[in-house]
Amino acid sequence: MKETVLKEFEKVFGDTEGVKVFFAPGRVNLIGEHTDYNGGHVFPCALTIGTYAAARMRNDRKLRFYSMNFEQLGVIESSLDGLKPEKEADWTNYPKGVMWAFGERGFEIPQGMDILLNGNIPNGSGLSSSASVEVLTGAILRDFFGFQVSNQDLALIGQFSENKFNGVNCGIMDQFAIAMGKKDHAIFLDTSDLSYTYAPVKLQGAKIVIACSNKKRGLGDSKYNERRSECETALAELQKVVDIKSLGELSEEQFEEYKSAIKDETRVRRAKHAVYENQRTLKAVKALEANDIAQFGQLMNASHVSLRDDYEVTGIELDTLVEEAWKVPGVIGSRMTGAGFGGCTVSIVEDDAIDTFKKQVGEAYLAKIGYAADFYVVEIGDGPVVL
């Protein structure tokens, strides 16, 4: 891939003098969905697929961006002066947002850049192509201008830029998982205080398989903000009867004891998901530590059921992928991953069942939904690197 981006850079920008190549991964969340803004735990890992960049400094304030994934847009030009989100800037609002966020943190960027990107994360899949671009941009800036920032800082700056520059009210999980990725480990992250530990993921004789529904998530963002506000209202109602700062602080038993304080049946279900999913995540990490992959798989399955019935963020596409996966012998666990309403599922599948899984689930999905799903067998990889 390094050669590919260098060759394309030369084609687009004339030569490769002074060019460096960078990589930042995508991520998948194994369990712990819609818990990150509810003060709960998440369990994501970085992937070996992600976003590559060829970049070099310029002698002026100009920014020139080109993406091999959006060739039809050509070179998009901008400037370091007066950075603001613009509709016509399209995908470049993500790297521009990070440059703006560095400036807000007191890191002045002295000169412009030519940046070419090529990602092998399926677009709109929910594997965090935008967060990958944000962390990647931060890694480029750190390398070029010698900024003293840690990988954890890159995550926080990426989230800040997405919240404040791009107006997406995301939690910290995506950027954190990408910036802090570690090969063959998932990150057990407490989103309430950003304390984390690495847990080895040893899937003896099995692999992580991602199924991309190829449904573009248009509905997702508005519904995402709606779910957040339902949880915030439920939390405020619970706080009248129990001293908590977030839903993630409650055990299942405490939730059942106090849930009558929530005055709306829908909000009860939303809050129930946040509480129970957090507990499932705690149990899943323990199961992994005990090498109990079967238990881990059962918790993944239960997570999907809760996201479908209590949180209502799955939809027919993701439900079809998961319910068909459950029928295949050798599937240890399967669930939707990401915000929902399209995007992907994540499954743990025994090695000798992978081909059957792709064929059986793929055919059933095509027959029911009318278009094909894509399948990716993925490995867990490291965070951002200079290649």
Q: Which residues are catalytic?
A: 174
Do the Cβ atoms of 47 and 380 come closer than 8 Å? yes
Cα 296 to Cα 25, 117, 333, 348: the distances in Å are: 24, 36, 7, 9
What are the respective helix, strand and coil percentages of the chain, to the nearest 5? 45, 20, 30
Distance CA 75, CA 85 (A): 17
Helix (H) or strand (E) run with residue 280 in it: helix 265-289
**Contact (Cβ atoms closer than 8 angstroms) between residue 334 and residue 323:** no
Record the tokens describing residue 204, joined without a space.
């003896």
Q: How many residues does the chain have?
A: 387
Cβ-contact 301, 327 below 8 angstroms: no
As given in the structure block, the two tokens for residue 215 are: 């449904």
Cβ atoms of 53 and 136 within 8 Å: the answer is yes
- CA dist 104 to 37, 96, 131, 224, 379, Å? 24, 12, 19, 27, 35
H or E, element range at 41: strand 41-42
Long-range contact set of residues 194-202: C-beta below 8 Å, sequence gap at least 24: 194/152, 199/43, 199/285, 199/288, 199/289, 200/288, 201/30, 201/45, 201/288, 201/380, 202/288, 202/291
Q: What tokens were used for 321?
A: 């992928």
Residues whose CB is less than 8 angstroms from the CB of residue 139 and which lie 6 or more positions away in sequence, other chains included:
22, 24, 154, 384, 385, 386
Residue with tokens 């929910």: 126
Closest C-alpha to 208, from 1, 362, 29: 29
